[in-house]
Amino acid sequence: MKIIILGQGKWGQAMASLLSKNNKEFSFWQKGTQIEDNSIIVNCVPTQAIREVLENYGINLRNFIFINGAKGIEKDTHKIPFEIVKEILGKDTDYFTLIGPGFSQEIINQMPTIVNIGYVKVDNAPMVKDLFQTDYFRVRLVDEVEALELSGAFKNIYAIASGIADGLGFETNTKTKLLVVAIEELYRLARNLSLIINEDMIAGTVGDLILTCSSSQSRNFSFGKLLATKNVNEALSIVGETTEGFHTVESLPYFEEKSGVKLNLAHFVYEAIKNDNPDELKNLFTKFVENV
């Protein structure tokens, strides 16, 4: 089967570097053309673009493997990538999701990295693992998709909170407190949605959260940091790339209602973005962090 990468951004380039390292032939999808059937599709377009791409350019797909690399929740539908792909391409899609703590440039620079690949059907899982695993990029297979993708989406919200704390001048103790609260919320949310997070999934859940909440390489962290002095539109413009947490947080009320769980830290980010007032942000944050 041909290997086709959807998206030529930083993440697409990182996935290409791994395939090249493993001497796998691949091509980048050319926007405006139909995605070829009998292909292994590596999705590197943002979550908000998946539906448009597949509905317009995936109409011929019958025999394929779909490997998702996007993180986020679709606005309006509140669906994770797995649900979007299943809706459009069918519930029997041989679906995988690659989730974990890996900045694109560091993967390209061959920095040691560990991730999860979640699967629905195990048959092709070893082959998919071998596409990406190298001596520096280690892959752990896990029989779970939805919990990984939900964690991968919500960690972007929590990264915004960490960026806000940093931008307001709060230091390591406070940012670690936010991480603790974020981990607690992720586990509580998953449990109430009847999803399981276990030790095999730490790379794609807790590991991804720690990475994204701890570095200015994260667009979501950078966006949050900018909110300390800029309004939302200014911050988004300065970041200049897709900031998935900004879109994902719009689904927070839906997930709080669906799970029956109040996600206090995520809700703080929701309120901070809705209020969109840098002058009031420190008071809002201080009030929140002193009461959790």
Q: How confident is the model at residue 197 (pLDDT cuts 50, 70, 90)?
A: very high
Nearest C-alpha neighbor of 81 from the set 68, 66, 94, 63? 68
Query: Residue 241: what pLDDT?
Result: 83
Give the per-residue pLDDT at 202.
95
Q: What is the pLDDT of residue 156?
A: 97
* pLDDT at residue number 286: 95
Judge whether 44 and 70 are in contact, CB under 8 Å: yes
Q: What is the pLDDT of residues 62-115, one digit of tens each?
A: 999 999 999 999 999 999 999 999 999 999 999 999 999 999 999 999 999 999
User: What is residue 251's predicted lDDT score, i.e. its pLDDT?
Assistant: 97
Tell the residue number behind the tokens 């949605």, with chain if given.
193
Ordered DSSP codes for 183-247: HHHHHHHHHHTT----GGGTIIIIIHHHHHTS-TTSHHHHHHHHTTTS-HHHHHHHH-S--HHHH
Q: What does pLDDT average to over the chain? A: 96
Q: What is the pLDDT of residue 268?
A: 97
Percentage of the chain modeled with pLDDT above 90: 98
Query: Which strand ranges, in their side-by-side order, compose the sheet holding 113-119?
Result: 27-28, 2-6, 39-43, 64-68, 94-99, 113-119, 137-142
Cα–Cα dist 292/117, whole Å: 33
> 210-255, pLDDT tens digit by residue?
999 999 999 999 999 999 999 999 999 999 988 999 999 999 999 9
User: What is each CA distance from 143 to 102, 117, 119, in whole angstroms?
Assistant: 20, 9, 5
Q: What is the pTM of this model?
A: 0.95
**Quick one: pLDDT at residue 230?**
97
Mean pLDDT of 248-269: 96
* Residue 4, both tokens: 């086709």
Tokens encoding 207: 């590991």
- The mean pLDDT value for 8-36 works out to 97
Which single residue is written with the structure tokens 């649900």?
83
> Could you report the per-residue pLDDT of 168-179, keeping only the tens digit for each?
999 999 999 999
pLDDT at res. 242: 85
Distance, in Å, from the CA atom of 201 to the CA atom of 223, rounded to the nearest integer, reads 27
- What SS3 state is found at 39? strand
113, 138 contact by CB (below 8 A) = yes
* Predicted local confidence at residue 14, as pLDDT: 98
Please state the rounded mean pLDDT for residues 27-48. 97
**What pairing do the DSSP bridges indicate for beta strands 2-6 and 27-28?**
parallel
Please enumerate in sequence order all residues whose Cβ is within 8 A of that of 35, keeping only pairs 6 or more positions apart, or say none: 4, 6, 29, 41, 53, 54, 57, 58, 60, 61
Mean pLDDT of 39-60: 97
Q: How far is CA 34 from CA 29, 57, 66, 83, in A?
A: 9, 4, 15, 22
Residue 191 · residue 137 · CB < 8 Å: no
